[in-house]
Amino acid sequence: MLLSLRLSQFAVVEETLITFGSGLVVLTGETGAGKSVLVDALGLLLGGRAESVMVRNGAEEAVIEGVFSSTPLLRERLSQAGLPAEGPEVLVRRVIGRSGRGRVHVNGGLATVGMLADLLRGIADIAGQHDHLELLDPKRHLDLIDQFGRVRTASSEWAEYVAEWAQLETARFELHQLGGDEAQVRRKLEDAQYQIDELSRLDPKVGEETSLEAERRGLRQVERMRETLASAEVALGGRDHSAIDQLGQAARALADAQKIDPRLATLHEQVLITQGQVNDALRTVGKQLSVLDESPQRLAEVEERLESLKRLSRRWGIPCDQLPSRATELEIEAAGLRAWADRRKTAEARVEQHRTALNKAGLALTQVRREVVTKLLGAVRGHCQRLGLKGAKVEVALEAKEPGADGADHVVWTFSANKGEPPQPLAKVASGGEASRLLLAIKAALAAAHGYDCYVFDESDAGVGGAIADAVGRLLWDMSRQRQVLCITHLPQVAAYADSHLRIEKMTHEGRVRSTVLELGEARARTQEVARMLSGVAITREAVRAAQALLKGATRTARLS
């Protein structure tokens, strides 16, 4: 509950301290007197955005202080934020500097605006003059259902859905982080494997190119040697006129000659020895030729091997000596691609798993919301009847949508103000007065269910009058039996139900306009204010009598409740 509000150098307020009681607190005053300034100040205490134009002209800073009654929830939040939590009250102080800088203190401890918003979340609810327009916004409709049923604060189905949504988002992010295209990766893997197989078949070695080139040079020299030895073999042992044949003929001739002259025996012996030596040389040449006969095949093998190595070297633009390391690189790349494919497959399976679980959790959450809708509609329809919308028809439909952060439900509120007319979306059929009353009916339903500690209505009763205005006042009074209700109003019928009545006055002092707040504690002062609201500037006797009747009637009605 809001206990007090102090403003200093804020907008048109120079200095004021307002004390609020429990029940229905009504604030009245002429248009432009500064009533909404109080609502703006309270909004800042709840963590609203501040602007330097809020500082009163001539001052360097504005100060807003609010005192709230402490609750177990507030004490727990204060402790979690590391702020002082002792005592029956919570003092919030917010300073707005003209330079744009500001300060926030809670129970004397320094805080941030974000901390302030978290601390007082759910403590006070402000319904402004145009909140009925927000009611027409479909984006707000689901929030109303969840707020009424405390779906997002006390529902295990909501907690499970949020957990599954977080896991699905994480799985989707991990899948996104893997990037790439599965078909493209498959092509890369196939290409890498092809190159690996090609290198595996070739099996290149470091330094092999140099070794093969040296061997090729040697083999090419051997070919020339083979040709030379072949000539030598022909000369030594060929068929025609070879050295062997010539020496044989010489030996035979000398054998015949030594018979005639024995002294030629030595010469004959020398020729036979030479013939033997030539035979030995011929055999040696033959052996060398038999070895050299294999060189052409080896030369072809060496040249083919060199060409294979150089072909891969040219294709990949790397030296032959780097081909073995390229094979290692390809193996690593292929392993990475296979691992990527495995990770992506796992990530896709995880996404599908959490999507299935999310759909299941979404169905359970939808069922909870359907039950909440039934109860909410019952309460809202009852309040609509009280507020003069007797022929009105309010419906809420839950339609399936793609699961998102807030569930798998799209909410459609429909409304018909007149009996027999089919309900249509609120934005198409609800007038300003009807929307204001519907908003009030919803707020009353929320307050009865659990609601905030304090409800603030800033002229949200606009567009109604007469008996309907009295019904609005009665409903606000009923709400205030369980919650503190602050209401800025121009309706005397509403003001008549006040438990405490504050009047905002605007006056000129030393050439400057300022607003002040007066507490109308006496019956006469309240009667005069209600009479002013009934008649305008000139308060007539008839207006006073009508005001007395309103106040008496409101008191009697309240007493009978």
- Domains in the chain: boundaries: 2-135+454-560, 186-317
Number of C-beta neighbours around residue 58 at 10 A = 9
Q: Quick check: 559 pLDDT over 60?
A: no
CA separation for the pair 438, 430 (Å, rounded): 9
Query: What DSSP state is assigned to residue 23?
Result: S
- Tell me, what's the pLDDT at 309? 86
- Tell me, what's the pLDDT at 501? 93
- The residue assigned the tokens 């209505």 is 457
- What letters, b where the CB count within 10 A reaches 16 and e where it falls short, cover 262-294? eebeeebeebbeebeebeebbeebeebeeebee
Q: What are the pLDDT digits (tens) for 193-234?
A: 888 888 888 888 888 888 888 878 877 777 677 778 778 877
Q: What are the pLDDT digits (tens) for 449-508?
A: 776 788 888 876 666 777 888 888 899 998 888 889 999 888 999 999 999 999 988 877
- Tell me, what's the pLDDT at 461? 66
- Tell me, what's the pLDDT at 292? 66
Residue 355 buriedness (CB in 10 A; 0-12 / 13-18 / 19+): middle
Number of C-beta neighbours around residue 319 at 10 A = 10
- Tell me, what's the pLDDT at 33? 66
Q: Which of 48-62, 284-298, 315-329 has the highest mean pLDDT?
A: 48-62
Q: Token pair of 535, please?
A: 């008649």
Weakest-pLDDT range from 21-30, 228-237, 302-311: 228-237
pLDDT confidence band for 67 (50 / 70 / 90): very high
- Tell me, what's the pLDDT at 128? 63
Of residues 16, 26, 20, 14, the one with CA closest to residue 89: 20
Q: What are the pLDDT digits (tens) for 162-196?
A: 999 999 999 998 888 777 666 777 777 778 788 88
Please calculate the CA angle 139-141-146 and round it to the nearest 5 degrees: 115
Q: What is the homologous superfamily of the domain 2-135+454-560 according to CATH?
A: P-loop containing nucleotide triphosphate hydrolases (3.40.50.300)
As a whole number, the mean pLDDT across the chain is: 84
